[in-house]
Structure 1
């Protein structure tokens, strides 16, 4: 069995991105092509932020972002989408249940903390009146199925101004 040196592992780990990943870009492209408009990385408009602070003063929003910094945010709909890596977020698929043999305690603790934080972020989003959807990296192989799941969660694309006033 090949093992990596600490330096090789460090180089490999430094290449893992936290945002603008290929799965995230894939989902954003699908949503945009379908006519959905959104914000990125948990960002919300200042007016929305103020309303959320008034509604839920106990929930802190560090960096003026939603809890967990959802990958895609639909602030007006109060909906958020997370695109999760199976390994890091303990998905039940093969990649998610794979446990590294090297430094096993470290990885188990790190992944458990991530899982706990995910649960806490979901609760805080719910307290702010947001619903959230998790898309797993392993589920992104069929664009039509992904878009159908997103459309079921989000509902129709935005309503035109004429329909709102009519």
Structure 2
């Protein structure tokens, strides 16, 4: 019985209007697009993110650097101790030149302490690339987010189109009532 109620727009029915048929096709198209396009967008996004993370792992290399300044324990009085703070470091680039720059270092370290920094092939400081597990999780999350965003946009467009169909039906009922209403004879009020 429930299936018959859900599929009433597809059955031949003297009360079925052209707008009902349009709405049935619209709902089907939206759900098919959500399933197919959402899957495709999610897969493409996850694959692109995974390639980006793999390229970062291939291009970035760790290097030994030396802190040039002490790293303070906290940034303000009463602030939390520990954590990571920005600090000035010196390291050797792949071409052998000495470079200086700022990176995050553990709080409380003294000047002259050796720390590990990550650099690209040109010797510029970069963040540590995610390992394979982190990259897989982040890629899957980005893919799922892209799929959900597309699904939300498609669902919203479908709802807006259905709202327009509802407005057309209400306007049609109003026009029909303007024709039929006076024939009913008496009016209350």
Larger radius of gyration: 2
TM over 0.5: no
Q: Give the TM-score normalised by structure 1.
A: 0.26
Q: Which has the higher strand share?
A: 2
- Normalising by the residue count of structure 2, what TM-score does the alignment of the two structures yield? 0.23
